[in-house]
């Protein structure tokens, strides 16, 4: 671990040698932020964190203005905080937690603040509930303490949306337990019954065991099976045969037939099939639900985009007001480093706005007086006065969310395909049963009911109904282990059939974070040029400044940020300028030919010193992933909101021929619809808010865990570790899953086709039917379990996949 930062694990830079002493040993760190965080953790006596953690910590942002202070103001705090006796209770979402040690660290740190009564931090949901004495400690102090550790807290408010999710999860867990315990009992008895069918059994004991099975199965069906009946009822009321209908019909009929046979002492019972089916389906849904909860919800995502408060200007008086209190026509002051609270026009000052999250543009856009700014964008250069033109629901962000809702209503077209197959099967079975019933009514009415039930029971339960859920559950669990959450049940099927992959650029194929890619110097040492540049850039909230973050810098004075141009300041004895060639040229004179025009320049009075090449570096695994997806038959395509030059560069270095630049969210959606009209089944991959509608509307979509919450809430798959590398393996596993589902369906259909007529004609003795039934189910389950093995890696893969650490940019 000598070449990686002790705190965040990122590679150590060459030049600045920053160390921190922990447990009496000197440890190297990569940047000032990491040093501050490591020292803080050591000084408050939480050094154990470094021994227990299982993943490196997020890289702390170098502290800017104290944005938390406003949270201590009563009118801001009041709507966010609940009461518990004399204590105040607040719910936070803490971004940047990597493992359980992180939440331990946060919990311990908060617990040591005076006035904090209790701090519960849940690493699985990234939520924290803190109860504190408002007279002893302020909300701002808590938030500051969390931010100082390198995490990003977001205040969720007093009513936690998570409470709903918790309730849902608890109910599901109880249902699962009832089904699981019931299954164990019924299976145990079923074993005895099967052996009895072969070896012969006292009819009294046989009837007794059947009645016990009935007694156990009834509560399982009523309590644990309730979601299927509720779902089936809801979809029937909407005049649409959904996925729940065949399930509900299947378990209800199998149960009814078994109960009838038990009470009339005739025929076979299928209680084991009923409970096993309910249990496995519930298990699948439970895994899916956990994934959905982790992926977050849309409402929260919006909350995190727009700040909670704004500085309103009334005449010359500034006042902090909640964003909800703003109206169109108000004037607000937006300091550098804060997000714009609503859409508006700049009336005073000039700045640059980072709109990457909303438009996909990787570099900030210069905004002078009269320019329009959008809510949620980051003001990255200088304070500006904005006259608001649209607030709340009429902002651009709210528009994207509406686009998202539209995309969702168009989605069911694909979902219906899966439903249609189920409908087809159920209708065939029902028609077949009706035919049998009609025939038997003509031949021998006394046997009609029994024969009809036989048809329904033999066709419906067991293998055929287990074929799909077992395979999907096994595959979902395998993907979750690899860091890929499946949030929608039919996502795997769509993933297997996808033939086009639509990539977003910024943050998806690229890191979305500026990197220093090259330095050209002129009459100055490389190290000193970097140090001067870093000193000046420290003063800037401009995203480009992040490229210099890891470099140790001497102090700079008299620093002035010129939006859209560069930074001027004094380092040591001389004045320097860093920025565009024109800006530097005003101080340094005409540009020498050996320094090319592009990039960021550094100069002093009368001399040009250096040129820095700064780019949005591609993810190290991007090219490999694109190649592998191509070899799997998926055609890659880039759809970006960024500038054509940047998109072309990324496309050519990845070898992607088709790319589209400068697309608004609505354009991306239109492109997707064009592709789909051409018959393509599109896999969309993205991370930003501007990708959300596309992700929602695509046949299947993947969001990166490092991206915006809105994108994650819209996608079918979420890559938790924020890397693309798992995608080709996921496609392969999805294809294997559909193949196994097909094998399972084929096998069980064949079994049913053979067994049904034979059993109906009385040619199959009970023991053979029992053996065949069990073997058939067992075969299906074992076949599905093959998916639980980790997906096989392609042979021509470079050793050890490159791990891309996300310092959670944005």
Partner 1 sequence: MSIIFVLIPLGLVLVGFALWAFFWAVGDGQFDDLESPGWSVLSDDAPPGPPR
For the annotated catalytic residues, the residue numbers are: 504
Residue 104 binds partner 1, judged by CB under 8 A: yes
Question: CB of residue 48 vs partner 1: minimum separation in angstroms?
Answer: 6
Please give the residues from 581 up to 640 whose contact with partner 1 meets the rule CB under 8 A: none
Q: Check binding of 181 to partner 1 (CB under 8 A).
A: yes
Tokens of 257: 């037939």
Q: Which residues contact 207 (CB under 8 A, 6 or more apart)?
A: 262, 265
* 198 counts as binding partner 1 under rule CB under 8 A: no
DSSP string, 562-605: ETTTEEEEEETTEEEEEESHHHHHHHH-SPPTTS-SSSEEEEET
Both tokens of 799, joined, read 């050793």
Q: Which stretch binds partner 1 (CB under 8 A): 5-13, 162-170, 662-670, 720-728?
A: 162-170
Contact status: 185 vs partner 1 (CB under 8 A) = yes
Q: Is 103 in the site for partner 1 (CB under 8 A)?
A: yes
CB 472 within 8 A of CB 489: yes
For residue 233, state whether it binds partner 1 (rule: CB under 8 A). Answer: no
CB of 485 to partner 1, least distance (A): 16
Binding range to partner 1, per CB under 8 A, among 209-217, 574-582, 739-747, 786-794 = 209-217
User: In this structure, are strands 309-314 and 317-322 parallel, antiparallel, or unpaired?
Assistant: antiparallel
Q: How far apart are CA 575 and CA 568, in angstroms?
A: 7
Nearest to partner 1 of 90, 457 (CB atom): 90
Q: Least distance to partner 1 from the beta carbon of 486, Å? A: 20
Determine if 203 is a binding residue for partner 1 (CB under 8 A). no
- Cα(676)–Cα(674) distance, rounded to whole angstroms? 5
Q: Is 194 in the site for partner 1 (CB under 8 A)?
A: no
Q: Which of 579, 577, 569, 576 is nearest to 599 (CA)?
A: 579
Nearer to partner 1, 121 or 397 (CB): 121
Task: Please identify, among the stretches 182-190, 280-288, 454-462, 505-513, the one whose residues bind partner 1 according to the rule CB under 8 A.
Answer: 182-190
633 burial level (CB within 10 Å; 0-12, 13-18, 19+): exposed
- 137 near partner 1, judged by CB under 8 A: no
Span of 164-172, 382-390, 412-420, 558-566 interacting with partner 1 by CB under 8 A? 164-172
Cβ atoms of 651 and 478 within 8 Å: the answer is no
Residue 580, C-beta contacts closer than 8 angstroms, at least 6 positions apart: 564, 565, 566, 600, 601
Residue 202 lies near partner 1 (rule: CB under 8 A): yes
Sole binder of partner 1 in the list 21, 78, 164, 173 (CB under 8 A): 173
Residue 208 interacts with partner 1 (CB under 8 A): yes or no:
yes
Does the footprint of partner 1 cover residue 747 (CB under 8 A)? no
Given a contact cutoff of 8 angstroms between Cβ atoms, the answer to whether 116 and 139 are in contact is: no
CA distance 753 to 747: 10
* Distance in Å, CB of 513 to partner 1, minimum: 29
The reply to whether 515 sits near partner 1 by the rule CB under 8 A is: no
Within 10 angstroms of residue 319's Cβ, the number of other Cβ atoms is 13
Q: Whose Cβ is closer to partner 1: residue 166's or residue 774's? A: 166
Cβ proximity to partner 1: between 213 and 351 the closer is 213
Question: Near partner 1 by CB under 8 A, which window of 183-191, 354-362, 441-449, 575-583?
Answer: 183-191
| Inter-CA distances, 357 with 120, 392, 422, 501, 542, Å | 31, 18, 40, 21, 15
Q: Pick between residue 117 and residue 804 the one whose CB is nearest to partner 1.
A: 117
Contacting residue, 19, 52, 409, 560, with partner 1 by CB under 8 A: 52
Give the one residue of 40, 100, 415, 430 binding partner 1; rule: CB under 8 A: 100
From the CB of 572, what's the least distance to partner 1, in Å?
47
Q: Of 208-216, 450-458, 466-474, 705-713, which segment contacts partner 1 by CB under 8 A?
A: 208-216
Asked if 299 and 161 count as a contact pair (C-beta separation under 8 A), the reply is yes
Given candidates 17, 64, 112, 789, which one binds partner 1 under the rule CB under 8 A? 112
- Which stretch in 65-73, 105-113, 386-394, 669-677 sits in contact with partner 1 by CB under 8 A? 105-113
Q: Are strands 384-390 and 152-157 parallel, antiparallel or unpaired?
A: unpaired
Among 96, 107, 636, 665, which residue sits at the site for partner 1 (rule: CB under 8 A)?
107
CB of 612 to partner 1, least distance (A): 43
Residue of 15, 122, 389, 528 interacting with partner 1 (CB under 8 A): 122
Burial class (CB in 10 A: 0-12, 13-18, 19+), 265: exposed
Determine the size of the site formed for partner 1 (CB under 8 A): 36
Piece of the chain touching partner 1 by CB under 8 A; list 14-22, 106-114, 238-246, 534-542: 106-114
Exactly one of 174, 318, 575, 648 binds partner 1 (CB under 8 A); that residue is 174
d(CA 749, CA 751): 5
Residue 572 has which token pair? Answer: 């040591």
Instruction: Provide the minimum distance between the beta carbon of 563 and partner 1 in the complex, in angstroms, as a whole number.
Output: 44
Note whether 149 binds partner 1 by CB under 8 A.
no
β-sheet with 607-618: strand ranges across: 510-521, 607-618, 600-604, 574-579, 566-571, 556-562
CB of 773 to partner 1, least distance (A): 23
Nearer to partner 1, 124 or 347 (CB): 124
Neighbours of 776 (CB within 10 A): 21
- 662: contact with partner 1 by CB under 8 A: no
DSSP labels, 434-501 = HHHHHHHHHH-GGGHHHHHHHHHHHHSSTHHHHHHHHHHHHHHHHHHHTTEEE-STTHHHHHHH--EE
Regarding 169 and contact with partner 1 (CB under 8 A), the answer is yes
Instruction: Using CB under 8 A, pick the residue from 37, 116, 274, 650 that binds partner 1.
Output: 116
Q: Per CB under 8 A, which of residues 213..232 are in contact with partner 1?
A: 215-216
Tokens at 791, concatenated: 């997906």
Binding flag, residue 260, partner 1 (CB under 8 A) = no
Closest CA to 212 of 258, 277, 267: 258
Helices 244-264/448-459 angle, 10° precision? 130
Torsion of CA 71, 76, 77, 81, to 10 degrees: -130
| Residue selected from 195, 205, 324, 325 as contacting partner 1 according to rule CB under 8 A | 205
Torsion angle defined by CA atoms of residues 534, 539, 541 and 543, in that order, rounded to the nearest 10 degrees: -20
Distance separating alpha carbons of residues 295 and 707, to the nearest angstrom: 11
Residue with tokens 């969390």: 146
| Strands, E assignment, 5-145 | 18-22, 25-29, 82-84, 87-95, 116-122, 127-132
What x/- string results for residues 469 through 498 when contact with partner 1 is judged by CB under 8 A?
Answer: ------------------------------
Q: Which stretch binds partner 1 (CB under 8 A): 143-151, 205-213, 358-366, 706-714?
A: 205-213
Give the DSSP H or E segment for 626: helix 622-631
Residues engaged in binding partner 1 (CB under 8 A): 48, 52, 100-101, 103-104, 107-108, 111-112, 114, 116-118, 120-124, 166, 169-170, 173-174, 177-178, 181, 184-185, 189, 202, 205, 208, 212, 215-216
């Amino acid at each position: 671990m000598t070449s990686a930062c002790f705190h965040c694990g990122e590679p150590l830079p060459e030049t600045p040698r920053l160390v921190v002493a922990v447990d009496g040993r000197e440890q190297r760190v990569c940047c000032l932020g990491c040093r501050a965080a490591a020292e803080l953790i050591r000084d408050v006596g939480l050094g154990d964190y470094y021994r227990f953690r299982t993943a490196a910590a997020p890289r702390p942002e170098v502290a800017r203005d104290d944005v938390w202070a406003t949270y201590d103001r009563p009118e801001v705090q009041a709507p966010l905080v609940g009461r518990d006796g004399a204590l105040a209770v607040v719910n936070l979402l803490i971004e940047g937690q990597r493992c359980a040690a992180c939440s331990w660290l946060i919990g311990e740190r908060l617990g040591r603040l005076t006035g904090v009564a209790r701090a519960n931090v849940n690493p699985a949901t990234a939520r924290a509930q803190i109860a504190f004495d408002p007279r002893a400690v302020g909300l701002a102090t808590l938030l500051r303490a969390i931010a100082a550790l390198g995490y990003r807290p977001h205040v969720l408010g007093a009513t936690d949306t998570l409470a709903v999710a918790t309730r849902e999860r608890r109910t599901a867990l109880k249902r699962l337990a009832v089904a699981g315990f019931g299954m164990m009992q019924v299976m145990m008895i079923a074993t005895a019954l099967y052996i009895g069918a072969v070896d012969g059994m006292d009819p009294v004991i046989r009837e007794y065991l059947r009645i016990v099975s009935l007694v156990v199965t009834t509560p399982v069906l009523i309590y644990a099976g309730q979601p299927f009946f509720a779902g089936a009822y809801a979809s029937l009321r909407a005049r649409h045969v959904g996925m729940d209908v065949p399930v509900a019909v299947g378990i209800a009929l199998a149960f009814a037939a078994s109960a009838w046979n038990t009470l009339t002492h005739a025929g076979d019972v299928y209680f084991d099939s009923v409970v096993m089916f309910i249990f496995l389906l519930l298990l699948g849904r439970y895994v899916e639900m956990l994934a959905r909860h982790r992926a977050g919800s849309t409402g929260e995502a919006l909350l995190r985009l727009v700040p909670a408060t704004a500085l309103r200007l009334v005449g010359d008086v500034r006042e902090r007001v909640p964003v909800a209190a703003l109206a169109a026509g108000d004037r607000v002051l937006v300091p550098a480093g804060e997000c714009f609270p609503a859409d508006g026009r700049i009336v005073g000052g000039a700045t640059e706005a980072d709109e990457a999250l909303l438009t996909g543009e990787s570099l900030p856009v210069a905004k002078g007086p009269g320019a329009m700014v959008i809510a949620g964008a980051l003001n990255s250069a200088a304070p500006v006065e904005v006259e608001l033109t649209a607030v709340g629901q009429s902002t651009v962000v709210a528009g994207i969310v509406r686009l998202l809702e539209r995309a969702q209503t168009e989605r069911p077209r694909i979902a219906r395909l899966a439903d249609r197959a189920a409908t087809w099967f159920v209708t065939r079975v029902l028609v077949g049963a009706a035919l049998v019933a009609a025939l038997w009514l003509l031949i021998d009415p006394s046997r009609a009911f029994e024969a009809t039930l036989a048809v329904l029971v033999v066709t419906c339960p067991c293998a055929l109904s287990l074929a799909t859920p077992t395979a999907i559950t096994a595959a979902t669990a395998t993907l979750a282990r690899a860091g890929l959450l499946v949030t929608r049940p039919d996502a795997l099927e769509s993933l297997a059939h996808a033939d086009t992959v639509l990539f977003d650029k910024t943050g998806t194929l690229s890191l979305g974070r500026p990197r220093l890619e090259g330095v050209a110097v002129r009459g100055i040492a490389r190290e000193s040029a970097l140090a001067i540049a870093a000193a000046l850039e420290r003063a800037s909230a401009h995203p480009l400044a992040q490229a210099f973050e890891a470099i140790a810098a001497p102090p700079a004075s008299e620093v002035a940020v010129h939006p859209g141009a560069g930074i001027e300041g004094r380092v040591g004895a001389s004045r320097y300028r860093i920025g565009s060639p024109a800006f530097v040229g005003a101080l340094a004179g005409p540009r020498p030919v050996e320094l090319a025009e592009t990039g960021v320049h550094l100069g002093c009075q009368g001399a040009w010193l250096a040129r820095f090449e700064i780019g949005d570096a591609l993810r190290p695994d991007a090219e490999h992933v694109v190649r592998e997806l191509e070899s799997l038959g998926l055609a890659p395509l880039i759809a970006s909101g960024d500038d054509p030059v940047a998109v072309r560069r990324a496309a050519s270095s990845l070898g992607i021929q088709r790319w589209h630049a400068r697309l608004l969210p609505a354009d991306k959606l239109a492109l997707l619809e064009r592709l789909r009209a051409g018959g393509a089944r599109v896999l969309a991959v993205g991370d930003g808010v501007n990708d959300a509608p596309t992700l929602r509307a695509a046949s299947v979509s993947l969001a990166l865990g490092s991206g915006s919450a809105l994108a994650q809430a819209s996608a079918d798959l979420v890559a938790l570790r924020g890397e693309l590398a798992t995608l080709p393996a996921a496609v392969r596993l999805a294809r294997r899953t559909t193949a196994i589902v097909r094998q399972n369906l084929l096998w069980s259909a064949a079994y049913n086709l053979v067994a049904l007529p034979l059993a109906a004609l009385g040619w199959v003795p009970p023991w053979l039917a029992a053996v065949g039934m069990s073997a058939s189910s067992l075969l299906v389950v074992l076949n599905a379990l093959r998916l639980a093995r980790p997906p096989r890696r392609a042979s021509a893969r470079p050793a050890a996949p490159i791990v891309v650490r996300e310092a959670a940019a944005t």
